[in-house]
Structure 1
Amino acid sequence: MKIQENFERTSSQPSLALSIGMFDGVHRGHQRIIQKLNHIAGVRNLESAILTFWPHPRKIFNPTDDLKLLNTIEEKKYLLSKDGLQNLILKEFDEKFRNLSGEEFVKQVIVDQLKVKHLIIGHDHTFGKNKSGDFSLLQRMGPELGFEVEQVEAVNYKDFHISSTQIRNALSMGDIISANEMLGYHYSISGKVIHGKKIGRTIGYPTANIEVDNLKLLPKNGAYIVDVFVKNQHHKGMLSIGTNPTVGGTEKTVEVYLLDFDEDIYEEEISVNFRDFLHEEIKFENLEELIKRLDEDRERTTKFIF
Structure 2
Amino acid sequence: MEYVKIEGQFPKFSHCAVTLGKFDGIHRGHRKLIQTILNRKKEYGELAVVMAFVSDRQTILTSEERRILLEKMGVDILLECPLNDQIKHMKADVFIRQILKGDLQASCVVVGEDFRFGHERKGSPELLEKYGEKYDYETIVIAKEMDGNRKISSTYIREELKKGNMEKIADLLGSPFFTAGVIEHGRGMGHRNFFPTANIIPPKSKLMPPNGVYVTVSHLEDGDYPGITNVGYKPTVGENFLGVETNLFDCDLDLYGQKCRVDFYKYIRPEQKFTSFEALKAQIRRDIESGKNWFQEEKELVKTLSFGKK
Task: State the TM-score bracket (shorter-chain normalisation).
Answer: 0.7 to 0.9
Q: Distance in 2 between matches of 1:293 and 1:82?
A: 38
The residue number in structure 1 matching 2:51 is 51
Q: Which of 107, 111, 128 does residue 121 from structure 1 map onto?
A: 111
The residue number in structure 1 matching 2:285 is 295
Q: CA deviation at 1:199?
A: 3.4
Q: Do 1:222 and 1:242's aligned partners in 2 also have CA atoms closer than 8 Å? A: yes
The alpha-carbon distance between structure 1 residues 189 and 104, as it changes in their structure 2 partners (threshold 3 A), is: same
Code of the aligned partner of 1:188: F
Q: Distance in 1 between matches of 2:87 and 2:45?
A: 30
The alpha-carbon distance between structure 1 residues 110 and 223, as it changes in their structure 2 partners (threshold 3 A), is: same
The alpha-carbon distance between structure 1 residues 106 and 195, as it changes in their structure 2 partners (threshold 3 A), is: same
210-219 or 1-10, larger mean C-alpha shift: 1-10
Q: Do 1:9 and 1:113's aligned partners in 2 also have CA atoms closer than 8 Å? A: yes
Q: CA deviation at 1:125?
A: 0.8
Ranges in structure 2 where 5+ consecutive residues have no aligned partner: 303-310
TM value normalised by structure 1 = 0.86
The residue number in structure 2 matching 1:18 is 18
Q: Distance in 2 between matches of 1:261 and 1:2?
A: 36
Superposition CA RMSD, Å? 2.2
Is residue 212 of structure 1 aligned with residue 215 of structure 2? no
Q: Within 5 Å, give how 1:117-156 maps onto structure 2.
A: 117-156=107-146
Is residue 76 of structure 1 aligned with residue 79 of structure 2? no
Q: Do 1:31 and 1:83's aligned partners in 2 also have CA atoms closer than 8 Å? A: no
Q: Deviations over 1:35-94 (max 9, x none)?
A: 2222334444533322223xx23x3xxxxxxx2212222221222222232333333444
The residue number in structure 2 matching 1:62 is none
Q: Which of 158, 168, 182 does residue 192 from structure 1 map onto?
A: 182
The residue number in structure 2 matching 1:108 is 98
Is residue 38 of structure 1 aligned with residue 41 of structure 2? no
Poorly superposed stretches of 4+, deviation over 6 Å: none
3-state DSSP of counterpart to 1:245: coil
Q: Deviations over 1:108-161 (max 9, x none)?
A: 111122112221111211001111211222233222222222321111124321
TM value normalised by structure 2 = 0.85
The alpha-carbon distance between structure 1 residues 210 and 46, as it changes in their structure 2 partners (threshold 3 A), is: closer
Q: Within 5 Å, give how 1:230-249 maps onto structure 2.
A: 230-249=220-239
Code of the aligned partner of 1:125: F
3-state DSSP of counterpart to 1:25: coil
Q: Which of 156, 159, 163 does residue 173 from structure 1 map onto?
A: 163
The residue number in structure 1 matching 2:268 is 278
Code of the aligned partner of 1:8: P
Q: CA deviation at 1:29?
A: 0.8
The alpha-carbon distance between structure 1 residues 235 and 41, as it changes in their structure 2 partners (threshold 3 A), is: closer
